[in-house]
Amino acid sequence: MDDIILEVKHISKYFGTFAANKNIDLKVKKGTVHSIIGENGAGKSTLMNMISGIYQPSQGEIYVKGEKVVFRNPNDATKRGIGMVHQEFMLFPELTILENLMMGFETTKSGRFLDKKKAAADIEEITKKYNFSIPLNQKAEELPVSLLQQVEIVKVLYKGAELIILDEPTAVLTPQGIEGLFAAIRNLTKLGKTIIMITHKLKEVMEISDYITVLKDGEVTGNLLPQETNEEEMASLMVGRKVLFNTTKQEKQIGGPILEVKKLTVADSDGVDRVKNVSLTVKKGEIVGIAGVAGSGQSELVEAIFGLRRPKSGDIYYKNELITNKTPREKRQVKIGYVPQDRLATGCCVNGSLMENCIMGYHVAHKFSNPRLINKKEARDFTEDVEKQFQVKIQDISDAMGTMSGGNIQKAIVGREFMQDNNLLIIEDPTRGIDVGAIEFIWQKIIDISEQGCSILLVSHELGEIMELSDRILIMYNGEITGNLLNTADLDEKTVGLYMLGGKKDEA
């Protein structure tokens, strides 16, 4: 059929003896949105990396518009009209958007000088046609992620992409950002472009897809139409069982204050105050969620609490001791754990092995007996525990972290922090990029360790996650705490949402 823009036939991909993709067949129709779903480690990114020329298949063939192709590198795929937007953006912060867009695709005058005018005109034609609005002369570092993502899409369009692959594009976006992205996607497909999208958010799959393919353990286990399926069915096809999102909570004793933040003010690198005079308390065994629209200061707040940013003023007490200016290492030593938002930049070292990453930060802290000498057996046992309990998929714990799938890296980082007997855990977006089955498991873990007496400060972009887990919810708006709400049965998302937009203030 001539409206099939991409066909993958019998593709397999081996890493050593491990088959990440097995005999995959996939047909993608021109002008549609085709979603790929599946558990962490199912092989989604691997498959997309072959379609976009990053990896070569071990077996099988790829056809573009009916013609067999062999991609030796991403440039070969670009020439055939295939572009991929990766989850970690690849823009240069110091360069303007225009310079970023021209990078690797330089328009020149008489073959020697950069022709920015011509490039700008070409790009504006594209942005107008597909209804993107991005400021070409601003530096990338000045733009929010939702716009940077549009820049990435415009970049592949500028290189002539007909088929655009988006790997978990909504993981970093707010609800408004997601709406914007979906509007852009609809425009693109209306004008004949084709989208392949990987996502773990099944509600979005239902909303935007024309076709859905399910992968499990490297194989295609289902081809679905949104009008003939639902979230429950997709979830159970992905993980092989029913996913209920039911967490169980025991009666628990909430004790005295563990963490007390008093009048904390934190500035960003440009000297602008991002956290303004914030006070908060987390008690023993309590889960305190911080809700707020992106950029309200939540990240700066927790970074200051963990010691990654020095506050301008204010005090932080942990178990009645002043810890304001202690380093992250010193904080780990007194059993404060941290799951950062950015798993690759702050959370781990991709070239290090899983074992090295599991003991990282702890080899000098607690648990491992001799602080000077790493006890290999202890480290191995601990890593195997993390691997087993958190279902981290890796072939060997001495393999590099970077060989794992995105969600498995996340599970390893969360597992490492949770398996230590920490007294306080600061966790940011703990389930980012994690499949529905594993989310259920991690949610239960968070509840369980709080019941064992660990205090938890949770920051999440997912309001549903905050509502499900927190005993108390703090609302952050424009750098201030504007609400402090007990998470009782009658509190609903709508009320919290109002606070998040600055619409309501807590009298108390």
Ligand X SMILES: Nc1ncnc2c1ncn2[C@@H]1O[C@H](COP(=O)(O)OP(=O)(O)OP(=O)(O)O)[C@@H](O)[C@H]1O
Instruction: Please tell me whether residue 292 binds ligand X under the rule CB under 6 A.
Output: no
Q: How far is the CB of 41 from ligand X (least distance, A)?
A: 4
Exactly one of 116, 262, 393, 504 binds ligand X (CB under 6 A); which one? 393
* Contact flag: residue 357 with ligand X (CB under 6 A): no
**What is the number of the residue whose Cβ is closest to ligand X?**
407
15 interface partner picked from ligand X, Mg ion, none, CB below 5 to 8 A per type? ligand X
Query: Which sign does the torsion angle of CA 374, 380, 386, 387 carry?
Result: positive
Query: Does residue 45 touch Mg ion according to CB under 5 A?
Result: yes
**Closer CB to Mg ion, 410 or 470, in the complex:** 410
Which strand (E) or helix (H) includes residue 259? strand 257-267
What 8-state DSSP symbol labels residue 131? T
Please, is 228 exposed, middle or buried when counting C-beta atoms within 10 Å of its C-beta (0-12, 13-18, 19+)? exposed
Decide: is 351 part of the binding site for ligand X (CB under 6 A).
no
Cα–Cα distance, 280 to 414 (Å, whole number): 24
Give 239 or 336: the residue with its C-beta nearer to ligand X. 239
Among ligand X, Mg ion, none, what binds residue 38 when CB lies within 5 to 8 Å by partner kind? ligand X
Strand-pair category, 163-167 with 194-198: parallel
Q: CA-based angle 467:470:476, to the nearest 5?
A: 80
Provide the pairing of β-strand 455-459 with 287-291. Answer: parallel
**Taking CB within 5 to 8 Å according to partner kind, which of Mg ion, ligand X, none is near residue 42?**
ligand X
Q: How far is the CB of 116 from Mg ion (least distance, A)?
A: 35
Selected from 52, 100, 299, 403, the binder of ligand X by CB under 6 A is 403
Torsion angle (degrees, nearest 10) of CA 428, 433, 436, 441: -40
Nearest to 347 by CA among 266, 267, 294, 401: 401
Please tell me whether residue 353 binds ligand X under the rule CB under 6 A. no
Neighbouring CB atoms inside 10 A of 111's CB total 5
As a whole number of Å, the CA-based R_g of the chain is 24
If contact means CB under 5 to 8 A according to the sort of partner, which of ligand X, Mg ion, none does residue 40 touch?
ligand X
Residue 102: partners with Cβ closer than 8 Å, 6 or more residues away? 114, 116, 119
Q: How far is the CB of 94 from ligand X (least distance, A)?
A: 29
Tell me the angle at which helices 145-158 and 116-130 cross, rounded to the nearest 10 degrees: 110
- Please give the angle made by the CA atoms of 496, 470 and 453, to the nearest 5 degrees: 160
| 405 sits near ligand X (criterion: CB under 6 A) | yes
- Among residues 164, 181, 239, 404, which is the contact residue for ligand X, using CB under 6 A? 404
Selected from 5, 11, 46, 84, the binder of ligand X by CB under 6 A is: 46
Q: Between residues 139 and 393, which has the closer beta carbon with respect to ligand X?
A: 393
Q: Is 45 in the site for ligand X (CB under 6 A)?
A: yes
Shortest Cβ 239–ligand X spacing (Å): 12
Residue 220's CB is within 10 A of a number of other CB atoms, namely: 20
Q: Determine, following the binding rule CB under 6 A, whether residue 41 of this chain makes contact with ligand X.
A: yes
Which residue is it, tokens 């979005």?
A: 204
On whether the CB atoms of residues 273 and 267 are closer than 8 A, the answer is yes
Nearer to ligand X, 194 or 405 (CB): 405
Ranges within 3-22 binding ligand X (CB under 6 A): 15, 20
94-123: contacts with ligand X (CB under 6 A)? none
Work out the end-to-end distance of the chain between its first and last CA atoms, rounded to an integer number of angstroms: 66
Give min distance, CB of 48 to ligand X, in A: 8
The SS3 of residue 279 is: strand
- CB 404, min distance to ligand X, A: 5
Shortest distance, CB of residue 56 to Mg ion, whole angstroms?
18
Site string for Mg ion, 146-185 (x = CB under 5 A): ----------------------------------------
| Cβ atoms 195, 6 nearer than 8 A | no
Stretch that binds ligand X, among 181-189, 308-316, 341-349, 397-405 (CB under 6 A): 397-405
Q: List, in sequence order, every beta strand (DSSP E) within 3-133.
A: 4-15, 18-29, 33-38, 59-64, 67-69, 82-85, 108-109, 113-114
Comparing CB distances to ligand X, the nearer of 148 and 436 is 436
397 contact, one of Mg ion, ligand X, none, CB 5-8 Å limit per kind: none
Q: How far is the CB of 49 from ligand X (least distance, A)?
A: 7
Q: Side chain identity at 320, as an amino acid letter?
A: N
Q: Is 314 in the site for ligand X (CB under 6 A)?
A: no
C-alpha dihedral, 392 to 393 to 398 to 399, nearest 10°: -130
Token pair of 107, please?
């328009």
- Select the residue interacting with ligand X from 22, 44, 274, 326 (CB under 6 A): 44
Phi-psi region of 240 (alpha: psi -120 to 50; beta: other; left: phi over 0): left
* Backbone CA torsion sign across 471, 477, 483, 484: positive
# binding residues, Mg ion (CB under 5 A):
3
Residues 386-445 that bind Mg ion (CB under 5 A): 405-406
> Nearer to Mg ion by C-beta: 9 or 393?
393
* Residue 437 contacts which entry, ligand X, Mg ion, none (Cβ below 5-8 A, type-dependent): none
Nearer to Mg ion, 180 or 406 (CB): 406
Contact residues: Mg ion, CB under 5 A: 45, 405-406
Contact residues: ligand X, CB under 6 A: 15, 20, 38, 40-46, 393-394, 403-408
